[in-house]
């Protein structure tokens, strides 16, 4: 009987424990629901502030301001490649104008790559004479002063190159890869030179990574593989790549003469440019907005990424002009040497990651400032729910869409470490038409589009920075 009593007691204790556990789980769920309900109401209360920001940016005194700021900047400075005097001028220019705007501005020193293009030319000698529009790729070595004259092997993929490996020795390999997407096709620009060099090629010419061309070459960074001979590499136009492909299909011999004066100098001194509105309650906590200040050495760098830099400044200006000051610090960072692989941003991360718990949200605009579609976001499910409420405040400009996967070279170290990240999603179908080419000028930009981007950027940044709690990790 005693054993049975103990048995009943144990079962009763177990049932009681399970009941308490269920009550605890219920309380947690209820508390979570109540907290989220509170957050929904808290965010909704910012509707009037959001409307004021939008009114000022799109219809008020700040209308067209971000466009005008970009035009003044791009027309005055021009292109701003890493390590160049123009990039130094750009940093000094932005430091000065943001300080005049009444923001708290400082510079943070970094070391950046210094590649110089030099003079360059390419000419098809056979089967007929034709000048080829060409742009050397970043980090490429130069040719001998007399250039390289060699027969051409045209391929459409890395797989075809491997199949025709015996034909590559002593040739200039031309990659005529089709454009599928930037993320997929850019591999030919990045790794084409080393893949061809492994097979004895003397140089490579890469079809520009673009879906559309008017005989315009598009440059960009390329990466040599360790232990592989470094050969000169440049991009050519879609038209010329396809022309040489057609010649090769007819079994006609193609000969090209390539001259490149490219060289890499010692790393240069540079700066990330930082402007702030300090938070009134938690100044140590940060919502970071950003774009990169450097560009390639062609065009004006207006689209990539002058527009992203300007709306990240404009967002602070709009908030300041309305006399708003959030709980947390709003910090705009204009990165240096993004085009070389996010060099300035990586050094910023290395310096500030000790305070990672204080970074609430990191934001980056680097796919143009065309008409905004919405916001892309990376973060926890709980943070995503909060952000879904925040973007509802953008209903007056019809950009309430929250999508998965915030992206950006410069904020990726933070997101990989678990910090919530957001990127601007715009109607970017034309972005790669002009990307890294002479076509990246103010003509691409539209004042109203920039106003809308600025409004979105400012509303999201301000509201997140002013909420009672940081975004849940």
Name, in order, each residue with C-beta under 8 angstroms of 119's C-beta and a sequence gap of 6 or more: 259, 261
347 in the Ramachandran plot: left (φ > 0), alpha (ψ -120 to 50) or beta?
alpha
Compute φ and ψ for 217, nearest 5 degrees: -75, 145
Q: In what order do the strands lie in the sheet with 255-260?
A: 130-132, 120-126, 255-260, 148-155, 172-175, 203-207, 233-236, 134-136
Strands 134-136 and 233-236 come out as antiparallel
Interhelix angle for 307-321 vs 447-466, to 10°? Answer: 60
Q: Distance (Å, rounded) from C-alpha 434 to C-alpha 176?
A: 19
Q: In what order do the strands lie in the sheet with 401-404?
A: 104-116, 263-277, 328-335, 282-292, 359-364, 421-426, 372-378, 401-404
**With contact defined as beta carbons under 8 Å apart, do 207 and 236 qualify?**
yes
CB neighbourhood size of 365 (10 A): 29
Q: Distance (Å, rounded) from C-alpha 441 to C-alpha 229?
A: 36
Q: Distance (Å, rounded) from C-alpha 361 to C-alpha 280?
A: 17
**With contact defined as beta carbons under 8 Å apart, do 409 and 221 qualify?**
no
Question: Between vectors from CA 436 to CA 135 and to CA 337, what angle results, nearest 5°?
Answer: 105
**Residue pointed to by tokens 């440019």:** 273
Alpha helices in 45-121 (DSSP H): 47-54, 65-77, 85-100
Q: Which of 120, 314, 338, 339 is catalytic?
A: 338
Q: Distance (Å, rounded) from C-alpha 98 to C-alpha 74?
A: 16
338 counts as catalytic = yes
Residue 217 pairs in a beta bridge with: none
Q: Distance (Å, rounded) from C-alpha 431 to C-alpha 380?
A: 30
Interhelix angle for 65-77 vs 85-100, to 10°? Answer: 150
**With contact defined as beta carbons under 8 Å apart, do 309 and 333 qualify?**
no
Q: Distance (Å, rounded) from C-alpha 435 to C-alpha 445?
A: 13
Q: Which of 467, 468, 448 is nearest to 456 (CA)?
A: 448
Tell me the catalytic residues. Answer: 338
């Amino acid at each position: 009987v005693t054993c049975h009593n103990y048995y009943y007691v144990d079962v009763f204790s177990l049932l009681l424990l399970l009941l308490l556990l269920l009550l605890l789980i219920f309380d947690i769920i209820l508390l979570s629901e109540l907290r989220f309900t509170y957050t929904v109401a808290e965010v909704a209360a910012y509707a009037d502030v959001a409307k004021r920001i939008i009114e000022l940016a799109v219809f008020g005194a700040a209308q067209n301001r971000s466009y005008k700021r970009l035009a003044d900047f791009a027309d005055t400075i021009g292109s701003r490649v890493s390590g160049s005097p123009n990039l130094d001028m750009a940093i000094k220019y932005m430091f000065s104008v943001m300080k005049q705007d009444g923001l708290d501005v400082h510079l943070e020193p970094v070391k950046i790559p210094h590649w110089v293009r030099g003079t360059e030319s390419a000419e098809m000698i056979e089967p007929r004479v034709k000048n080829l529009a060409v742009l050397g790729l970043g980090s490429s070595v130069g040719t001998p002063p007399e250039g390289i004259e060699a027969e051409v092997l045209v391929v459409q993929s890395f797989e075809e190159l491997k199949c025709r490996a015996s034909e590559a020795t002593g040739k200039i390999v031309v990659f005529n890869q089709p454009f599928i997407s930037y993320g997929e096709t850019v591999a030919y620009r990045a790794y084409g030179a080393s893949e061809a060099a492994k097979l004895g090629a003397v140089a490579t010419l890469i079809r520009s990574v673009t879906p559309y061309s008017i005989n315009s070459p598009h440059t960009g960074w390329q990466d040599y593989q360790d232990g592989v001979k470094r050969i000169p590499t440049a991009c050519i136009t879609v038209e010329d790549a396809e022309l040489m492909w057609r010649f090769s299909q007819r079994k006609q011999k193609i000969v090209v003469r390539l001259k490149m004066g490219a060289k890499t100098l010692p790393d240069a001194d540079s700066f990330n440019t930082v402007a702030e509105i300090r938070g009134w309650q938690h100044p140590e906590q940060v919502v970071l907005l950003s774009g990169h200040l450097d560009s390639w050495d062609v065009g004006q760098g207006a689209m990539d990424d002058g527009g992203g830099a300007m709306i990240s400044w404009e967002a602070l200006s709009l908030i300041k002009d309305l006399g708003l000051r959030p709980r947390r610090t709003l910090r705009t960072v204009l990165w240096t040497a993004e085009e070389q692989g996010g060099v300035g941003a990586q050094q910023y991360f290395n310096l500030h990651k000790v305070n990672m718990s204080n970074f609430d949200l990191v934001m980056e605009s680097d796919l143009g400032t065309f008409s905004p579609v919405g916001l892309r976001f990376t973060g926890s499910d709980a943070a995503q729910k909060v952000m879904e409420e925040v973007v509802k405040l953008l209903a007056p400009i019809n950009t309430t869409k929250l999508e998965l996967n915030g992206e950006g070279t410069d904020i990726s170290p933070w997101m990989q470490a678990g910090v919530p990240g957001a990127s601007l999603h715009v109607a970017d179908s034309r972005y790669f038409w002009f990307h890294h080419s002479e076509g990246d000028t103010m003509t691409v930009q539209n004042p109203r589009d920039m106003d809308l981007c600025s409004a979105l950027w400012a509303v999201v940044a301000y509201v997140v920075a002013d909420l009672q709690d940081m975004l849940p990790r």
